[in-house]
Amino acid sequence: MEAVDRCDDRTVIEGIEFEDDDGVVVVQVRPRRPKKGRCGRCERVSPGYDNGDGRRRWRGLDLGTVKVLLEADAPRVDCREHGVTVVAVPWARHGAGFTRDFENQAAWLATQASQSVIRALMWIAWVTVGRIIARVVAERGAGVDPLEGLRRIGIDEISHLKGHNYLTVVVDHDSGRLVWVKAGRSKKTMAAFFDDLGEARCAAIRLVSAGACQGVCVSNSTWHCSDDYPIFLPR
Ligand SMILES: [Zn+2]
């Protein structure tokens, strides 16, 4: 079964049920090493605190048109840095109501498809997509530098919260990954990206494709722009 395959070796499947009333598949899971509770925020091994709110569910990737929910205990630990916190689970990011795979797919789709396509495919609100993207990017920012080794990038904006708020997103065309995101779509927002990138890595970029608005912001002395296409090449 697909949902089972997707769980990595840190997750044990305890049972699978089909709930007729809601038409959903519920997969009961637990971390492979449940005794070693880790803080959900920093993943440090921490002493157990209590059972939290009991069983919890996370939405996973659908099986065809059937919704899949992962269900597990969500006890709390007492982290010496973060205090009482829900335990870390291998299948989901801290504070998320979706699995890691679900969020990765939604974040990738946000860079490839329209809002209506994402809503229809994933059955989630656009505001939720914004939160998911923030979590995905925050995680990628921890430990590894997602801006390392970039050659061909795409810069675009997506709106959320009924179109009145914008996120500027940068994707790596070579890996297809979302590598940077920030609220806003102004020159200042783009400047923040190029600051994060730094001069040396900026010089290594071979191609930037950009939406109309961002185009203005990246066409500085380092780049020249084709008038017909939103693509920038190094001088
Ligand atoms: Zn912690």
CA gap 178, 214 in Å, rounded: 16
Ligand 1 is an ion; residues with CB less than 5 A from it:
39, 41-42, 79, 81-82
Residues of the chain with pLDDT under 70: 1-8, 34-35, 140-144, 159-165, 211-235
144 CA to middle of ligand 1, Å? 19
83 CA to middle of ligand 1, Å? 7
48 CA to middle of ligand 1, Å? 12
Neighbours of 2 (CB within 10 A): 11
Neighbours of 118 (CB within 10 A): 21
Predicted pLDDT at 221: 46
130 CA to middle of ligand 1, Å? 25
61 CA to middle of ligand 1, Å? 28
Predicted pLDDT at 114: 75
- Cα–Cα distances in Å, from 206 out to 87, 150, 151, 180? 43, 9, 5, 18
CA gap 202, 199 in Å, rounded: 5
pLDDT digits (tens, 9 = 90+) for 173-219: 887 777 887 777 777 888 888 888 888 888 888 888 776 555 544 54
To the question of pTM greater than 0.85 for the whole model, the response is no
Amino acid at 191: A
Q: 185 φ, ψ to 5°?
A: -145, 30
Amino acid at 156: D
Q: Are 70 and 111 in contact (CB under 8 A)?
A: no
CA gap 69, 57 in Å, rounded: 6
- What is the crossing angle of helices 126-141 and 115-122, to 10°? 90
